[in-house]
Structure 1
Amino acid sequence: MLSPNQDEHAHSKDPVKYGELVILGYNGSLPGGDRGRKKSRFALYRRAKANGVRPSTVHILTNPQDSKVSECVGSVKPSNVHIFTSPQDSKAVNSKGHHSISFTLSRNQTVVVEYCHDPDTDMFQIGRSTESPIDFVVTDTTGGSKETEDSSVSPSTISRFACRVVCQRHPPYTARIYAAGFDSSKNIFLGEKATKWKNPDGHMDGLTTNGVLVMHPEGFPDDSKQGAWREISVCGDVYTLRETRSGPVRGQLAQGESSALQDGSLVDLCGATLLWRTAEGLLRAPTLRHLDALRLELNAGRPQCPVGLNTLAFPSLPRSHSLEERQPWVYLTCGHVHGRHDWGQRPERHREEGGRGEDGGGGAAGVGGNRECPLCRSVGPYVPLWLGSEPALYVDAGAPTHTFTPCGHVCSERTARYWAETPLPHGTHAFRPTCPFCSTPLAPAPGFSRLIFQGPVD
């Protein structure tokens, strides 16, 4: 019989929504379109039947002469720890069909933590693999909203079974993040060279090769303040960062910190960064319809190009990245908005010194090269403007008044300021602010510009 909490949504037409994971850099959809489990955002709903698991029995598979048995088990053997010394016993453990995590300590010893069914949780797995255990397939994100077309050129740094999110099936529906996911054999395998250890309470834990990093902001989204980046272990404990992304020595245990995701939490998989929005947070966030209403309101003001005196208009949302005739363009140094024109081309030597040439930015004339603004004579990049069309990335529902530099994605001032002040992991030990809509690294602070539109002259 269901408890009152469990029964609360049992007869509801709408399934319980835990939240959504949104990949930074795709502005609403993957370049080739969202298909199946491979898409730019993934909604986590309460499953019809719980599929969560929890640790149960610990098996130590060891050579009888291995002196490390006592080191691993401790002076008193817990009742749920089984020591096996024969190959037949080892095979029996591995063939039970239960979920398990294997910690290989040496060629002679492996600790296998067996997991049993947990009726109170749902588990969702994220990774690069397209095998059935993965619910949300994530590939490496490159700057400019482009997926890596040939993975053989640049091997992926995202694990095939990168992480798992475990959600409580009843209120408050807490979602927790864990490094590593179970493979098709229901196993997580940490080899001999993996970073792993035994905690003071006796349970084994470890880190994945490139790690799963998490940042919990404070006061998101109303009064957002960035938190510290941490690393999550396979068992969900929180640690300070290693010296480098795949360093052999784990960081310090972050006392009092939790793996529970909160609205605005960022999860980095070393190749892609995901934003977690709770169901409640999404209800307060702007919708695509609201963003389009702001676009129509902006276009209704009939902004004009100061040079051609033609009326400008942002193309309809979302996601078209083909330039249109009335597309607004901006001089990023000063923020003056124009239409596309050839005025103010700098001599070739200036373009070579200051940036890419005329066709350096996606084939559009002048993108990436330096141009001189006809209104204020400031010199800098001249790029087309694109509205940010992924609502989950906004921290408010304000008007589109600012643009990230140098990519030209437009959003509200608070949203631009928040992301420009949020360093995201880059490489093995660096962090840098990037545009959340296209993953382009931002220019030095402030990383965004206020847009200056000219109204109609008639």
Structure 2
Amino acid sequence: MFSPAQENICTSPASTKGAVKYGELIVLGCNGSLPSGDKGRRRSRFGLCRRNKANGVRPSTVHSSCTPQAAKAISNKEQHSISYTLSRAQTVVVEYTHDGTTDMFQIGRSTENPIDFVVTDTVPGGQVPTDGPALQSTISRFACRIICQRDPPFTARIYAAGFDSSKNIFLGEKAAKWRMRDGQMDGLTTNGILVTHPQQGFSRDSRPGLWREISVCGHVFTLRETRSSQQRGRMVESECNELVDGSLIDLCGATLLWRTAEGLAATPTAKHLEALRRELNAGRPQCPVGFNTLAFPSLRRRGVLDERQPWAYLRCGHVHGYHAWGGRRQAEAEQQQAEPEEQQRECPMCRARGPYVPLWLGGEAAFYVDAEPPSHAFRPCGHVCSERTAAFWQQVLLPHGTHAFHAACPFCIQPLSGEPGCVRLIFQSPLD
């Protein structure tokens, strides 16, 4: 059945011909597609395009008490509203009215119609969640909304919380909320929506920015002491909620990368990554021990070990074919692949001891800050990308849990180990 939320949703480059594209959201850790496959609104990347009819909203009337008008606004399924519960006896209701100049897109865990982009918790390593007891998701059912200007420069702004099927947002008694100096209400969601913007754009010279929290009304705050603390951070009046190319949005369970249409136009395409792969394989890199020719598998076969698969010692970067020293079977090595800290092997070229893992090309082009050849591998997962791309992501500290941060591989979201978190690969040329 057709869902109103899916109108003008760009799911692939081919579907965007002739449409005005605001940008795309890409889920970190998926490397080009979800482990279970991209289906409908549950995808690894989501394009925001100008809708046939504007659906944006903006605040209008404020009801400071439980008046009949406030109750009507909440019960009216055609009226957007935000309810701030101050106590059992007092609820402030803010009505929202239609805005013909903007388009609204909503992100969250819910599969209900108001959600345009369904996002679930990302498992490190790009694996499908196990069939064991389901862990309770920390992503809100209606996590956030993005408002895009329909006319140039197509500014995109982010706000915490999304409207539910009744077009309401409810902030209960325990939610952090307050009255602004101008009398307007504002608040934070339970686990918060965090955003950071790269310095010097999303390019080969990019540097990570500071993480901030975005409120329901789009104001910017320093982080709370813990993710769900009722005490808000300090308001940063010099910053705004506008997304820029390379902005990261953390939903507490999944992190999204925002790429503008202009930024994507200057980003390497999947075809370019495939050309780089073929060029790398055309050099016929060899295993310095077995002298067999190595080849990176196609991006479609990522995750499936091939007999010509390049492996590397991540302490030194020497690239080999697979070899089982001491008679160890490949199955044992594959099992240890999930436990890199126990996978200490000695490189036969330089005697350096460290993790020994298969190498995989990073397949999500939107994560690259340049179009240079793949030359560096992340530790300990073995995903390979360009030097500048690896240098950028190893500096980005992603939120983890309620108050921790750590660097992770953008392709599989596995935490990086060692300092630095990547290594330059050393290939052996053919001995012709």
CA distance in 2, matches of 1:322, 1:244: 40
* Partner SS, residue 36 of structure 1: coil
Is it true that 1:408 corresponds to 2:412 in the alignment?
no
1:37 to 41, 57, 61: 41
Cα distance between partner residues in 2 of 1:380 and 1:344 = 16
Q: Which runs of 4+ in 1 moved over 3 A?
A: 88-91, 149-152, 357-364
Write the letter of the residue equivalent to 1:95: S
Match for 2:302 among 320, 345, 357?
320
Contact 1:359 1:367 in 2 (8 A): no
8 Å CA contact 1:194, 1:207 repeated in 2: yes
Following TM superposition, by how much is the alpha carbon of 1:118 offset from its aligned partner in structure 2, in angstroms? 0.3
Q: Secondary structure at the match of 2:299?
A: coil
1:44 maps to amino acid:
L
Deviation at 1:146, TM superposition (A): 1.9
For the residues of structure 2 that align with 1:198 and 1:90, how far apart are their CA atoms?
18
Partner of 1:146, secondary structure, is coil
**Aligned counterpart, 1:20:** 24
AA in 2 matched with 1:168: Q
Structure 2 counterpart of 1:95: 75
For residue 356 of structure 2, what is the aligned residue in structure 1?
Answer: 382
> Which letter does structure 1 place at the counterpart of 2:63?
H
Q: State the 1:255 CA deviation.
A: 1.9
C-alpha displacement of 1:370: 1.0
Is the Cα contact below 8 Å between 1:367 and 1:382 reproduced in 2? no
Q: Which region of structure 1 is more displaced relative to structure 2, 213-222 or 166-175?
A: 213-222
The residue that corresponds to 2:428 in the other structure is 454
Give, as a single letter, the amino acid of the residue that structure 2 aligns with 1:115.
Y
Deviations 1:211-232 (A, max 9, x none): 0000011112142111110000
| 1:253 positional shift | 0.5
Q: For residues 150 and 48 of structure 1, what CA distance do their matches in structure 2 show?
A: 41
After superposition, give the CA deviation of every residue in 1:394-423 in whole Å (9 maximum; x if it has no partner): 000011000000000000000000000110
Per the normalisation by structure 1, the TM-score is 0.87
Partner secondary structure for residue 282 of structure 1: helix
Deviation at 1:205, TM superposition (A): 0.3
Superposed CA offset, 1:268-310 (max 9, x none): 0000000000000000000000011010000000000111110
> 1:60 Cα deviation (Å)?
2.5
Partner residue, 1:435:
409
- Quote the offset at 1:137 in angstroms: 0.4
Query: 1:418: which partner in 2?
Result: 392
Structure 2 residue matching 1:289: 3-state secondary structure = helix
Instruction: Please state whether the residue corresponding to 2:34 is helix, strand or coil.
Output: coil
Q: Secondary structure at the match of 2:233?
A: coil
Count how many residue pairs are aligned between Structure 1 and Structure 2: 412
Secondary structure of the 2:65 match is strand
The TM-score with structure 2 as length reference comes to: 0.92
What amino acid sits opposite 2:291 in the alignment? L
Post-superposition offset of 1:61: 2.8
Aligned to 2:244: 262
- Equivalent pair of 1:52/1:119 in contact (CA under 8 Å): yes
Contact 1:344 1:373 in 2 (8 A): no
How far off is 1:92 after superposition?
2.2
2:3 corresponds to: none
Which residue in 1 is equivalent to 2:61?
57
Distance change (3 Å), C-alpha of 1:344 and 1:432: farther
Aligned to 1:282: 264
> Using a 3 Å threshold, how does the CA distance of structure 1 residues 122 and 257 change in structure 2: closer, same or farther?
same
Question: Quick check: 1:394 aligned with 2:368?
Answer: yes
Is the 1:27–1:319 contact (alpha carbons within 8 Å) kept by the matching residues of 2?
no
Inter-partner Cα distance in structure 2 for 1:326 and 1:358: 16
State the Cα RMSD in Å: 1.8
Alpha-carbon distance between aligned partners in 1 of 2:83 and 2:324, rounded to the nearest angstrom: 63
SS at match of 1:93: helix
2:207 to 206, 218, 225: 225
1:360 Cα offset (Å): 3.6
Q: Name the counterpart of 1:292.
A: 274
CA contact (8 A) 1:337 1:454 kept: yes
Instruction: Give how far 1:150 is off.
Output: 4.8
Distance 2:70 2:393 in 1: 50
Query: Cα deviations across residues 140-199 of structure 1 (Å, max 9, x unaligned)?
Result: 011101243458531100000000000000000000010000000100000011000001
Residue 409 of structure 1 aligns to which amino acid in structure 2? H
> Following TM superposition, by how much is the alpha carbon of 1:57 offset from its aligned partner in structure 2, in angstroms?
0.7
**Cα distance, 1:256 vs structure 2:** 1.0
CA contact (8 A) 2:102 2:148 kept: yes
SS at match of 2:281: helix
CA distance in 2, matches of 1:40, 1:120: 28
Deviation at 1:445, TM superposition (A): 2.0
What is the DSSP-based 3-state SS (H/G/I as helix, E as strand, rest coil) of the residue aligned with 1:92?
helix
What are the superposed Cα offsets for residues 29-80 of structure 1, whole Å, 9 maximum, x if unpaired? 0011100000100000000100000001111234xxxxxxxxxxxxxxxxxx
Q: Percent identity?
A: 67
Q: Which residue of 1 aligns with 2:345?
A: 371
- Pairing 1:46-445 to 2, within 5 Å after superposition: 46-62=50-66, 84=67, 88-96=68-76, 97-150=78-131, 152-219=133-200, 220-318=202-300, 320-343=302-325, 358-361=333-336, 369-445=343-419
2:6 alignment partner in structure 1: none
Conservation of the 8 A alpha-carbon contact between 2:337 and 2:343: no
Counterparts of 1:21 and 1:319, CA distance in 2? 24
Alpha-carbon distance in structure 2 between the residues aligned to 1:214 and 1:151:
32
Give, as a single letter, the amino acid of the residue that structure 2 aligns with 1:267.
I
Deviations 1:58-111 (A, max 9, x none): 11234xxxxxxxxxxxxxxxxxxxxx2xxx555423223200000001101111
Distance, in Å, in 1 between the alignment partners of 2:219 and 2:261 is 24
Provide the rounded CA distance (Å) in 2 between the counterparts of 1:42 and 1:151. 29
Instruction: Give the stretch that moved more between structures: 257-266 or 315-324.
Output: 315-324
**Equivalent-residue separation in structure 2 for 1:341 and 1:151 (angstroms):** 34
Partners of 2:361 and 2:214 lie apart in 1 by 34
Residue type at the aligned position of 1:449: V
Any gaps of 5 or more consecutive residues in structure 1?
A: 1-11, 63-83, 347-356
Decide which structure has the larger Cα Rg and report it: 1
1:424-455 Cα offsets, whole Å, 9 max, x none, are 10111111100000000001321000000001
Q: Helix, strand or coil: the match of 2:377?
A: strand
CA distance in 1, matches of 2:301, 2:180: 48
